[in-house]
Structure 1
Amino acid sequence: MARFSVICLLFSSILLSSCGFHLRGDLPLSHFSAMYIQSQRHSELAALLSARLEYNKVQLLESYQKSAPMLHLINDTLERRTLSLFSNGQVAEYELIYKVRYALTMPDGEPSEYQFELFRDYQDDPNQALAKAKELDLMLDELRQQAANRIMRQLARLH
């Protein structure tokens, strides 16, 4: 019986590895041995990307070198659009729009520019201002995490 369990476990692991399965956050970035990230000072998105690149064994360079790719985070902005109002005219619900623009410059190549938008709905309540401010911060952190994941997937697709 123990032998059958070992064979099933071995078969399952071979099946998962042959289909290209990777653990979440573990992306094949072997084609990037080193990279330079250029961004605005104290960019939280840049910090997230740096941590993810280091986790995937990409060396982060202190300065730009022509022999290594450069990821330039041009900007990331949060906009909000009114979706609905209370009967007294105060905003009841917003749509948050997180926009990210970045460029990737490969060694001896021209920069390729990318941009995308992420959307979330946010219900506002003026009676719960402190709690809603904290909720907005958490939602923005989640949007940044999602943006970093999206950029990492884009980098993994490039060969």
Structure 2
Amino acid sequence: MIWRHAQTTLVLGAALILSACGFHLRGTGDVSVSDEWRTMHMVSNNPNSEFSREIKTRFAANGVEWQEDKSQANYQLVLGPERFSQRNLSLNAEARAAEFELTMRSTFSVRDQNGREIMPDTTGSVVKQMENDPRNVVGKAEEIRILKSEMRGELAQQILRRIAFFAASQDS
């Protein structure tokens, strides 16, 4: 009986501590897109790129149906290319990069069914920092690859949130 009471107290205490520090699980971040904005067509220079696929996946997870024929879509997402850059933030004692700043950007706009631009060119960007170990080049290259994939997902989510916010402001 005492053991069960101690377990319950421990679980409740852990839940209170986690909720007090602001912890929350990360997910797709359920973004609500109004019904009118649920059919879209993507215009992209490279529709089969990882970035375009990530955009389609994130939007589809939030109820957007992608149309191959732009005449069947209410809106067109005009997606610019993903641009990735890396710069040195600091140097170590041997004058080698100790930290990098990784930046991923893309410009996008939204047009209506008639091709009129209703959301002007907007740039989304994600910035991350990472430490560098010049002795572990292969490991750091893999870390950069993983970070690029995470950044691509964050950028796609950012674009979704911006469009959802714009759509909500147009509806009201």
- TM bucket (normalised to shorter chain) is 0.7 to 0.9
> Match of 1:123?
131
109-118 or 122-131, larger mean C-alpha shift: 109-118
Q: CA deviation at 1:26?
A: 2.5
Q: Give deviations 1:82-127, integer Å, cap 9, x for gaps.
A: 1111222221211111111111112333252100322111222121
**Counterpart amino acid of residue 66 in structure 2:** L
Cα gap change, 1:24 to 1:99, in 2 (>3 Å): closer
Match of 1:51 among 40, 53, 57: 57
Q: CA deviation at 1:64?
A: 2.3
The alignment of Structure 1 onto Structure 2 pairs a total of residues equal to 137
Q: Distance in 2 between the 1:153 and 1:116 partners?
A: 11
Match of 1:145 among 129, 153, 163: 153
Gap runs ≥5 in structure 1: 1-22
> Match of 2:31?
27
* Corresponding residue SS for 1:96: strand
Q: CA deviation at 1:66?
A: 7.5
Q: CA deviation at 1:132?
A: 0.7
Cα contact 1:35–1:59 (8 A) shared by 2: yes
Cα contact 1:70–1:105 (8 A) shared by 2: yes
Cα gap change, 1:35 to 1:144, in 2 (>3 Å): same
Cα contact 2:39–2:74 (8 A) shared by 1: yes
TM-score computed with the length of structure 1 as normaliser: 0.76
* Corresponding residue SS for 1:93: strand
> Match of 1:36?
41
TM-score computed with the length of structure 2 as normaliser: 0.71
Q: CA deviation at 1:51?
A: 1.2
Cα gap change, 1:24 to 1:96, in 2 (>3 Å): closer
Cα contact 1:25–1:52 (8 A) shared by 2: no
130-139 or 39-48, larger mean C-alpha shift: 39-48
